[in-house]
Amino acid sequence: MAAFADRYLRYERGPKGSKTVLWPVYAWPVYFPTPRRNQLDLFQEAILGLMRAGVRQARDIGDLLALDAELVAFIISATLIPEGWTDRNGRLTEKGERVLETGNTRADDMTRGVVFQDAVTLRLWPRFSRMPLEEIEALEQGDSHRPRFMLNRTSGFSVKPFLVEGARPWRSTPTASDIFEAFREFLGDANRRRGDGGDELAQRVRSGDIRLASQNPEPYYLWVDAYRNPESSYPWLIADPFGYIDAAPWLRHNVARKLDGSADGRPDAPLAGYLKTLYDKSETANDSFDAYFREIDERVNLELMAKYPGVTKDKRIAEQFATVLRVSEHLRSLGRHVKSDAIDSLMSENQKLGEVVLKQVYRQFTIPGDKVPVAWKYKQLRQAYAAMNLAFLDQDALDALPKVPADSVNSAIDRNGDVSLKACVALNVFSAWKHSGHPFNSMTAADTGIGRLIALANDRNLSSHASDPGRGKNTADKALAHADFITAWAAQFTNWY
């Protein structure tokens, strides 16, 4: 695949601990206005003010200002008339009225620069930059098209940022209205940070004041930094690459759309995995309870997109999958202080994930009307399963399946699979016997994990009867082992979600 660009831009450094990505952008050449500073001096302002009040003769103006009449005449002839602020009769022109009112002695400068367009979402950024752009040269392309950059030649410190792929070709030139709206937002941010006259300019500027200098943009990768801020309601933020504001909400939105696939139809698992490294060193040990769980939620969401992107195709399965990951992480964080209710919670969520996956699969391979003879007990059921001659039924499965009563299987058929885990497992075995396209038929005994699924259901029942000392108990290690199994097992069925 050809690289999107071989030129790179870097403006502001991100906060300490941030993670850098190279984000694809288009730079559209434009001419845009920038404000000039007030060049009207005190003498000019005073003379213009008196002229507006009707005092037009140099001698009269000099008397009122305690200035020599020849100096006043010189200022009028050398600056006020040539600039077009007054006529030769001492009357203010329209331009002079505007200059006296605003203090701007000249029109705004027209600056040659660029407006940036996101190459993933194709939305314009509210960011303009003067020419020349802040380019940074790469040392080498490196593996997987990830370039390396030298940041400190004395120490030899270099970095290899994550390069975002999936740039889309631009389709048409940005509209004048889109550029204008981006410019107005840019002026607001620039003025808040630097106080450079952006508010006044925003009131004067018109759509026609900004114009494209070319019908073709230049592609670049721009340094973008993701970081965490415990005080923010968002678990991760994107720093403004240009430093006008701390965090850029519009850029965070674009990154989020890239992550979940809403930008280009393809969830970006590698990017999610990279951003998840923001949480490698947890700093929430002393934070609030809410902050702790918020961090877990975001870490789990990124892990889901990074390791299990196919799971996100079905909302119910994705939510339950994420719940298992979240509860697992919480249980691990408790260490020696784990309590039985945390173990029971994970066992319950493990079982629910198995159920929602099997129900989703069964909906595509139903067996309405067929029933198992209610009189069949363990022996008859085992013989029936063995007679199916299904390759994925190993000895463990043949031993475990007949323990699911015949009436439970029939209830599962009547309720279209809306039953507990063990009945769901047996139901899908019968479904695979009837439908060659059922996913079980393309899987090995180890992959279907029927024995493990039924063992999970049995261990879940231990949690339900925790008050009975004769039934034993679950441990954190057992619950986590079941969680590892059920997530790996569920990820196999993404083609059927």
User: Is the backbone peptide bond immediately before 132 cis, with ω within 30 degrees of 0?
Assistant: yes
Amino acid, single-letter form, for residue 496 = W
The verdict on 95 and 244 lying in the same domain is no
The verdict on 166 and 21 lying in the same domain is yes
The verdict on 14 and 148 lying in the same domain is yes
Mean pLDDT by 10 residues, the chain (497 residues): 85 91 97 72 90 93 92 92 90 87 65 95 95 90 74 81 93 92 89 59 70 95 92 84 92 91 85 85 49 72 85 89 89 80 89 94 86 85 94 94 89 80 93 95 96 92 53 80 96 91
The verdict on 403 and 425 lying in the same domain is yes
What is the pLDDT at residue 291?
Answer: 62
pTM above 0.85, yes or no: no
Domain region containing 196: 8-35+109-255
Which domain-ending residue is among 255, 271, 288?
255
Chain mean position to CA 311: 18
Amino acid, single-letter form, for residue 437 = G
What's the DSSP call for residue 108?
Answer: P
With respect to residue 84, please indicate whether it lies within any of the assigned structural domains: yes
CATH of the domain at 78: 1.10.10
The verdict on 14 and 78 lying in the same domain is no
Amino acid, single-letter form, for residue 113 = G
What is the pLDDT at residue 21?
Answer: 96
The verdict on 487 and 353 lying in the same domain is yes
With respect to residue 274, please indicate whether it lies within any of the assigned structural domains: no
The verdict on 55 and 202 lying in the same domain is no
The verdict on 15 and 89 lying in the same domain is no
Buried b (16+ CB within 10 A) or exposed e, 223-243: bbbbbbeeeeeebbbbbbbbe
With respect to residue 152, please indicate whether it lies within any of the assigned structural domains: yes
What is the pLDDT at residue 258?
Answer: 92
With respect to residue 337, please indicate whether it lies within any of the assigned structural domains: no
d(CA 204, CA 218): 29
Cβ neighbours for 252, distance < 8 A, ≥ 6 positions apart:
234, 236, 237, 238
What is the pLDDT at residue 73?
Answer: 92
The structural domain count of the chain equals 3
